[in-house]
Amino acid sequence: MTASETDIIETTDLGCHAGADTLAAAASAAGKTELMAQFAEDYPKGPHDQPQSMCPAFGSLRVGLRMRRTATVLSGSACCVYGLTFTSHFYGAKRTVGYVPFDSESLVTGKLFEDIREAVHDLADPDKNDAVVIINLCVPTASGVPLELLPKEINGVRIVGIDVPGFGVPTHAEAKDVLAGAMLAYASEEIKAGPVARPTQSDTQQARPTVALVGEMFPVDAITIDRLLDSLGAAAGPVVPTREWRELYAALDCQVAAMIHPFYTATARQFRAAGRPLLGSAPVGVEGTAAWLEAMGELLGTDRASIDAAISTQKSAIRAALDNNPIDAKITLSGYEGSELLVARLLIESGAEVAYVGSACPKTEFSAVDADWLEARGVSVKFRASLEDDLIAMETFKPDLVIGTTPVVQKAKERAIPSLYFTNLISARPLMGAAGAGSVAQVINSALSNQPRMLTMEAFFEGVGDGPTSGVWTPEIIARTGVGGAS
């Protein structure tokens, strides 16, 4: 079947500049009402409804690029694709990002859809690929480019088309969920249709019930969780998003899905549909690990004595690691990875005073336990936090250390407050069990020791100017804008 011109609405005014409401209305008018309603349910907005970090579609692109034997293709404006390609290579993708370009004419006439179809056919080589992922960015989604009309499979290669518009998916974290959920949904249908390829699993995984781990995590964390599960008579299954297609079958075959990252709503829906129980939070710190082992043991049907033994062993090991790596500081923390609450729990158990935790992700049933735990300890927890929320928290609580996104860290540096970038320096470390307890404290204490250097730099640059008095201001610029000049 091909897309006709009537499948695609007039798109003359549908540039990226059109605004979220206009684009969302256009997408609904173009036949994507159901999609927009599902996004609204899965990724509730507010107080901000626009991405304040990188383009959300990066999350889906990254999931596709990390998967073996999978070709990932973008359909969107050239400027968006440039940014996404740049970011993916900055993060070491080392894979080709496919692109189907368009212009107003090919968008309006439906030629873009034909071009996408051709690209998908070209890539559907079973010797090279198990799957081809095609991602509609903002403008093609708003224009109703109907990826659902693509063939589901060509030469045995699966075709997975998804819409990931910034006006429906607020963060790149949630965009990972869009693709992970779509691939699990596809794999579920394959399982229902008949026998599927046997997943590559270790002897332990084959002999024991497995727990699928939902959320990208530091590799050591998956190993730590596997050891924890071993004491409950189970083994860690695949991490979702998976690295290869057949792992999707193994993931769906789990006994329990551990929602380590709480924002995977579409993914959770697929596990539920497969009849798998879901468990939120994660084994972080003494209390988090004990509660997780207790709940997981019950879901796995582990005997009481084994659960108690596992909790007792872990409690003493983690307590020792925390005591050996104390943190004595007031901290504010924010990020868009979805693991912010877990990190805050660990910091508090390490001795830190955490005044504020902001997450760009929404509150879900899987983060509720962590939010309650933090709020009971006086932490101000903000879901869907905006940059402004994070900055106000920094000004209000006057922390010794700020953990945050790039603009937050930049502001902290201007104030001579030691700061750490959440994505690169915190979320790229182990968090779980005893390994996590020691690791995070090291980087925090090292940053805190930089305080004298920050003050020296602040004194050195004093009087150089900031805000509208910084930079080079020619008399012409000052005359034209009314700002700038010497302070």
Contact residues toward ligand SF4 (CB under 6 A) are 16, 51, 55-57, 76-77, 80, 83, 137-138, 166
Q: Indicate the residue among 56 and 64 with the shorter CB distance to ligand SF4.
A: 56
Is the distance from CB of 64 to CB of 180 less than 8 angstroms? no
Smallest gap from Cβ 11 to ligand SF4, in A, equals 14
Q: The tokens 């001579």 sit on which residue?
A: 416
Helix axes 172-193, 265-273, angle to 10 degrees: 20
Smallest gap from Cβ 46 to ligand SF4, in A, equals 18
Q: How far apart are the first and last CA of the chain?
A: 66
Taking CB atoms, the residue at the shortest distance from ligand SF4 is 166
Q: Indicate the residue among 82 and 461 with the shorter CB distance to ligand SF4.
A: 82
Smallest gap from Cβ 300 to ligand SF4, in A, equals 41
CA distance 285 to 345: 7
Q: Which two tokens stand for residue 442?
A: 């090291």
User: Is 267 exposed, middle or buried (CB count within 10 Å of its CB: 0-12, 13-18, 19+)?
Assistant: buried
CA distance 347 to 288: 12
How do strand 235-240 and strand 210-214 relate by DSSP bridges?
parallel
Smallest gap from Cβ 19 to ligand SF4, in A, equals 11
- How many CB atoms lie under 10 A from the CB of residue 186? 19
Smallest gap from Cβ 232 to ligand SF4, in A, equals 42
Smallest gap from Cβ 16 to ligand SF4, in A, equals 4
Q: Indicate the residue among 169 and 412 with the shorter CB distance to ligand SF4.
A: 169
Q: Which two tokens stand for residue 319?
A: 């307590």
Smallest gap from Cβ 179 to ligand SF4, in A, equals 15
Smallest gap from Cβ 440 to ligand SF4, in A, equals 31
Is the distance from CB of 88 to CB of 61 less than 8 angstroms? yes
Q: Indicate the residue among 30 and 138 with the shorter CB distance to ligand SF4.
A: 138
Q: Indicate the residue among 77 and 210 with the shorter CB distance to ligand SF4.
A: 77
Q: Indicate the residue among 65 and 434 with the shorter CB distance to ligand SF4.
A: 65
Q: Indicate the residue among 51 and 436 with the shorter CB distance to ligand SF4.
A: 51
Q: Indicate the residue among 77 and 427 with the shorter CB distance to ligand SF4.
A: 77
Q: Which amino acid is at 444?
A: I
Smallest gap from Cβ 83 to ligand SF4, in A, equals 6
Q: Indicate the residue among 99 and 473 with the shorter CB distance to ligand SF4.
A: 99
